[in-house]
Structure 1
Amino acid sequence: MGARFELAGRTALITGAGSGIGRALALALARRGCNLALADIDASGLAETAARLPAGLRVSRHRLDVSDREAVAALPAEIRAAHPGLDLLVNNAGVALGGRFEQVSEADFEWLIGINLWGVVRMTRAFLPLLRESPEARIVNLSSLYGLIAPPGQTAYATSKFAVRGFSHALAHELAGSTVGVTVVHPGGVATRIADSARLPADLAPEESARGRAQANSYLKLAPARAAEIILTAVERRRPRVLVGTDARIVALLERLMPAAYWPVLARLMRQP
């Protein structure tokens, strides 16, 4: 694989940097001496992330809705004005939407796809020219455990994360031999607020909504800081894919062994009906 992809002195752009894995990645990159462009729709979350960073780095903040085509297209000019270049793009921003397909409205399905998939595609299109100007650069796309398996109640989310996986693999093949590499990330259950902030069907009873969120949160155990270290270690080693967490590694193996029959086994393990 050659020498390590050293992060000290480089510049990274992270979407969804106002909380969760995005914030943890910002802190871990800062510890490595990497300058940062932080993007998030939540301005207060961005400010909190920036306040936790050590002094001495070049840091810019950008309020951004990754589903906004015009806003994404305008962002490269902001980054060029704030930084000398860009070496690392981390497409981390994402949302969740629970409910079976017939329960989920088309509007909510489109909302999720606009962020989880189109955000990744448009950010990559907008910043690939800038990344190509770097002697060596990397794109890191956050898929999910649900980009490996597709459980019931996750039709929208799994659709988006399988798409991110396919996009990342095809893009990596297209960029092979160039100065830009691609890493696709499949986190398992990371202890973020994604379950608490997930959209649920409007007609779901309050007690059912609460039960669903509690069940989802019970699977979110890995500390974001640990997830960030696993991801950045893979980036430094130029790995094309990284499984984050024991659950992701187990599920990936099970899916390989039983690609069409994994769910009954997993449902029993998860004690789901």
Structure 2
Amino acid sequence: MQNFRNKVVVITGAGSGIGRELARQLAREGAIFVLNDWNQDSLMAIWEELPEAARGYMEAFDVGDRQAVEGFAGAARKALGRIDVVFNNAGLTQQITPVIYGTIEDYEKILQVNLWGVIYGSLAFLPHLREHGDGCLVNISSVFGLMGCPGQAPYCVSKFGVRGFTETLRVEMRGTGLQVVCVHPGGIKTNIARHALVSNETDHERFVTRFDKLAKTTASQAAEIIISGIKRGKSRITIGSDARLIDKITRLMPESYERILQRSLDRAKFLRPR
């Protein structure tokens, strides 16, 4: 996809972070938007910021709700007559929690948003994206869809799942005209850590502080990289020097990169009984 002028663009999780910046930047290119966020106030803030001509349709709901996603897709198509681009961007994480201390509920909550939300969104919008032979589907995975990260098992499971689903779909859609893109951001300065699932407030504050120190790329820079990658026809986009480094390490040392991670792992914290 070379340009976005008059293209109908769907963005989930548009109320903050990368989703909000995608809306801001694509508005300058003349896109018309279908926006979602779970937070009504955040969604209204970006909606009112957009030029009136760019406001197509919006709806606040949790993308982990299958019926809501399917209804959203149908309502958007009915309101605007076509769908050209879909960004399945909404996501959720948790504070650092070793696997042995995690709960089934942690996995269920995170997979419902991060993985099922992407699957619901992809399947609901695929028929509309394929109508004109030049649609684009963009699913946001993570650098943790490239490597396992201690303390983030549910998040890693969800993002590896997004990667597997998207890469499979990309192979199946090859030659159909539908551009399928998987995005792997590294540390991005967003509010995802502040909205993480929390079991202990003190640990959560440490998690947020550590995340903010490691997040070197702004959401604006991330959106710019994604848009540029789409225009250049890329099917796999890594964002940030950290993501590019991890991508190389996991490709070159798929069985031994764990030793690098272990150097910074507090094994006493991860393995001591509670």
- Band of TM-score, shorter chain: over 0.9
Q: Could you tell me which residue of structure 2 aligns to residue 231 of structure 1?
A: 226
> How far off is 1:272 after superposition?
4.6
Q: Could you tell me which residue of structure 1 aligns to residue 101 of structure 2?
A: 103
Change (3 A) 1:123 1:158: same
The reply on whether 1:13 has 2:10 as its aligned counterpart is yes
The reply on whether 1:28 has 2:44 as its aligned counterpart is no
Q: Aligned to 1:252, which of 237, 247, 252?
A: 247
Mapped partners of 2:185, 2:248: distance in 1: 14
Mapped partners of 1:106, 1:180: distance in 2: 36
What secondary structure does 2:204 align onto?
helix
The reply on whether 1:199 has 2:197 as its aligned counterpart is yes
Q: Which runs of 5+ in 1 are unaligned?
A: none
Q: Could you tell me which residue of structure 2 aligns to residue 126 of structure 1?
A: 124
Once the two structures are superposed, residues 70-90 of structure 1 have per-residue CA deviations (whole angstroms, 9 ceiling, x without a partner) of: 111211221023212001010
Q: What's the TM-score once normalised by structure 2's chain length?
A: 0.92
1:39-188 correspondence to structure 2 within 5 Å: 39-98=36-95, 99-188=97-186
Once the two structures are superposed, residues 90-133 of structure 1 have per-residue CA deviations (whole angstroms, 9 ceiling, x without a partner) of: 00000002311222221121011000000011111111111111
Mapped partners of 2:31, 2:133: distance in 1: 16
> How far off is 1:16 after superposition?
0.3
Q: Aligned to 1:241, which of 214, 236, 244?
A: 236
Mapped partners of 1:247, 1:267: distance in 2: 17
8 Å contact 2:47–2:55 — kept in the other structure? Answer: no
What secondary structure does 1:162 align onto?
helix
What secondary structure does 1:48 align onto?
helix
Mapped partners of 1:41, 1:183: distance in 2: 24
Mapped partners of 1:105, 1:30: distance in 2: 41
> How far off is 1:146 after superposition?
0.4
> How far off is 1:195 after superposition?
0.8
> How far off is 1:266 after superposition?
4.2
Change (3 A) 1:267 1:215: farther
Mapped partners of 2:203, 2:34: distance in 1: 39
Mapped partners of 1:267, 1:11: distance in 2: 45
What secondary structure does 2:57 align onto?
strand
8 Å contact 2:142–2:185 — kept in the other structure? Answer: yes
Identity of aligned residues (%): 37
Mapped partners of 1:122, 1:129: distance in 2: 13
Q: Would you say how many aligned residue pairs link Structure 1 and Structure 2?
A: 265
> How far off is 1:154 after superposition?
0.7
8 Å contact 1:86–1:134 — kept in the other structure? Answer: no
Q: Could you tell me which residue of structure 1 aligns to residue 272 of structure 2?
A: none
What secondary structure does 2:35 align onto?
strand
8 Å contact 1:8–1:33 — kept in the other structure? Answer: yes
Q: What's the TM-score once normalised by structure 1's chain length?
A: 0.93
8 Å contact 1:145–1:187 — kept in the other structure? Answer: yes
